């Protein structure tokens, strides 16, 4: 078959997909105009069906431009969300938020399964060096940048210099966080194998523990500057130890139980995953453990202490192919366009500083002679994305500091929106450029 025929078939397929996307959008828009009182389960079912169909079509169309599917899901959710076309209202977006629980479970399990002990043993020196340099450089440069623009932020008016430094440090903590969900979504789409994919997986997944530890320490140090009744206490370290040790213990138990089930039955795995995400998720929330770390450890145990790792990964990827569409489309619908419009200049500046600091830190960390040349050149690409973890940290900071928390979280949402759109594109480009995508 000639290249010209293949091109015509590809063009025809894309035209058909575009027509189907426009038809589905027009149909739902007409339905919202006629059936304005469509609510409850019927409204949710319609929204889910539209997001699944339109999200897949949009991702296929954007793939023609070399963009990741993740970008298509987010853009579709943004356009269809309550702030643009209004095809998916705020009530539906809120209800679809329950999908996040299942999605985070699948993301963490897949990340744990991909973390093979051999990989960590071979690259632990590189990971330690990368984490150390990234934390120091990114946090320092973003602290300076935020302190420089702080006088221009209305929610920080009247704060002392010491308080502005404290808020800048909290912002730097957000800047150090990465996006396990975006990383795994790109790897699931591309089926990438190679040095960049391995480095991204190991670095991003292990960074969750570091960020949780830094948050607990930062909160204990910063609180006295805004509340005179508070004082620096080591009790936060006890809370941190409880969270990390408890998450590892529960994750190990879940991993061993899941491995035993897969070995004995290998049936109804989807139901087991649903049970883990909701039942175990509630238990994790009640015990104040970290869900990402818990399920990450569970996947790691299945992969490295049993022979069921490939079967679990296959089940997770099969289930996640649908869940990821809803997860990232809902994330796009959550983006507050008016807020982003108001804060985008400051958010764009801070995101630019963070991205530059990330590349500088990676260049410094990878100067060692034993680092793979491909990682030296492209290893920073997967470190730009931000998503759920960063937003979760911003919620914790908002609750801890009502004096500035609302404005701080609004700026964080705007910054995450920018990084959520740009980061996955950079990561996929690096994978494609080096032939790791399959």
Sketch the domain layout of the chain as residue ranges: 3-97, 101-433
On whether the CB atoms of residues 385 and 424 are closer than 8 A, the answer is yes
Distance CA 129, CA 120 (A): 13
User: According to the model, what pLDDT value does residue 143 have?
Assistant: 94
252 CB-near residues (< 8 Å, 6+ apart): 297, 298, 301
Distances (CA, A) of 110 to 44, 238, 251, 313, 320: 28, 29, 13, 6, 9
- Burial label for 252, CB within 10 Å (0-12, 13-18, 19+), is middle
Distances (CA, A) of 258 to 45, 287, 303, 320: 31, 20, 11, 18
Q: How far is CA 240 from the centre of its chain?
A: 22
User: According to the model, what pLDDT value does residue 6 have?
Assistant: 42
328 CB-near residues (< 8 Å, 6+ apart): 55, 70, 73, 74, 77, 181, 185
On whether the CB atoms of residues 144 and 119 are closer than 8 A, the answer is no
Fold of 101-433: Na+/H+ antiporter like fold (1.20.1530)
How far is the first Cα of the chain from the last one, in angstroms, to the nearest whole number? 22
The DSSP output letter for 156 is: G
The DSSP output letter for 279 is: I
Distances (CA, A) of 234 to 148, 224, 239, 244, 437: 31, 13, 9, 16, 46
Distance CA 341, CA 332 (A): 15
pLDDT band at 172 (very low <50, low <70, confident <90, very high): very high
Token duo for residue 211: 């960020």
Token duo for residue 315: 């089940």
Kindly report which listed range (118-127, 152-161, 413-422) carries the lowest average pLDDT score.
118-127
**3-class DSSP state of 67:** coil
Distance CA 391, CA 406 (A): 12
Is the torsion defined by CA of 202, 119, 426, 367 positive or negative? positive
Q: How many CB atoms lie within 10 A of CB 383?
A: 28
User: According to the model, what pLDDT value does residue 359 have?
Assistant: 94
- Quote helix, strand, coil % in the chain, to nearest 5: 80, 0, 20
Nearest Cα to Cα of residue 21 among 259, 399, 64, 43: 64
Distances (CA, A) of 218 to 273, 307, 387, 427: 35, 41, 21, 30
Nearest Cα to Cα of residue 387 among 328, 316, 312, 313: 328
Token duo for residue 358: 């990330």
Higher model confidence: residue 101 or residue 373? 373
DSSP-H helix ranges across 97-116: 99-114
Checking if the pLDDT of 153 tops 80, the result is yes
Distance CA 303, CA 297 (A): 10
Phi, psi dihedral angles at 19 (to 5 degrees): -65, -40
User: According to the model, what pLDDT value does residue 2 have?
Assistant: 47
The structure's pTM equals 0.74
41 CB-near residues (< 8 Å, 6+ apart): none
The DSSP output letter for 383 is: G
User: According to the model, what pLDDT value does residue 40 have?
Assistant: 63
- Over residues 297-318, the mean pLDDT reads 84
User: According to the model, what pLDDT value does residue 72 have?
Assistant: 82
Nearest Cα to Cα of residue 284 among 240, 255, 243, 333: 243
Checking if the pLDDT of 282 tops 80, the result is no
pLDDT digits (tens, 9 = 90+) for 198-252: 888 888 877 877 787 787 778 777 877 777 665 555 565 666 677 778 888 988 9
Average pLDDT, the chain: 81
């Amino acid at each position: 078959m000639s290249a010209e025929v293949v091109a015509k078939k590809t063009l025809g397929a894309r035209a058909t997909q575009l027509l189907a996307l426009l038809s589905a959008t027009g149909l739902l828009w007409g339905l919202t105009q006629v059936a304005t009182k469509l609510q409850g389960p019927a409204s949710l079912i319609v929204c889910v069906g539209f997001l699944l169909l339109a999200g897949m079509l949009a991702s296929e169309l954007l793939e023609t431009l070399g963009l990741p599917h993740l970008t298509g899901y987010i853009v579709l959710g943004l356009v269809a969300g309550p702030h643009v076309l209004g095809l998916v209202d705020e009530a539906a977006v809120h209800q679809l938020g329950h999908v996040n629980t299942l999605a985070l479970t699948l993301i963490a399990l897949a990340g744990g399964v991909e973390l093979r002990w051999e990989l960590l043993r071979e690259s632990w020196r590189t990971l330690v060096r990368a984490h150390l340099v990234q934390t120091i450089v990114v946090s320092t440069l973003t602290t300076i940048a935020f302190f420089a623009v702080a006088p221009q932020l209305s929610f920080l008016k009247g704060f002392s210099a010491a308080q502005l430094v404290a808020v800048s440090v909290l912002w730097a903590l957000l800047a150090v966080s990465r996006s396990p969900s975006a990383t795994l979504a790109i790897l699931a789409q591309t089926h990438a194998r190679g040095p960049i994919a391995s480095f991204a997986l190991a670095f991003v997944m292990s960074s969750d523990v570091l960020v949780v530890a830094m948050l607990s320490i930062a909160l204990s140090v910063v609180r006295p500057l805004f509340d005179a009744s508070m004082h620096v206490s080591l009790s936060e370290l006890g809370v941190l130890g409880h969270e990390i040790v408890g998450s590892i213990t529960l994750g190990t138990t879940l991993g061993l139980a899941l491995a035993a089930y897969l070995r004995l039955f290998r049936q109804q795995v989807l139901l087991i995953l649903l049970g883990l995400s909701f039942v175990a998720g509630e238990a994790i929330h009640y015990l104040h453990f970290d869900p990402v770390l818990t399920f990450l450890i569970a996947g790691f145990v299945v992969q490295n202490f049993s022979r069921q790792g490939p079967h679990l990964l296959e089940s997770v990827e099969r289930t996640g192919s649908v869940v990821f569409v809803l997860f990232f489309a809902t994330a796009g619908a959550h983006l507050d366009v008016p807020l982003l419009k108001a804060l985008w200049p400051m958010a764009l500046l801070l995101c630019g500083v963070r991205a530059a600091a990330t590349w500088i830190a990676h260049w410094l960390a990878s100067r060692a002679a034993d680092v793979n040349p491909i990682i030296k050149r492209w290893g920073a690409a997967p470190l730009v994305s931000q998503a759920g973890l960063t937003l979760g940290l911003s919620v914790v900071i908002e609750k801890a500091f009502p004096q500035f928390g609302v404005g701080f979280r609004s700026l964080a949402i705007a910054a995450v929106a920018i990084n959520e759109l740009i980061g996955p594109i950079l990561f996929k480009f690096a994978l494609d450029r080096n032939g790791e995508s399959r």
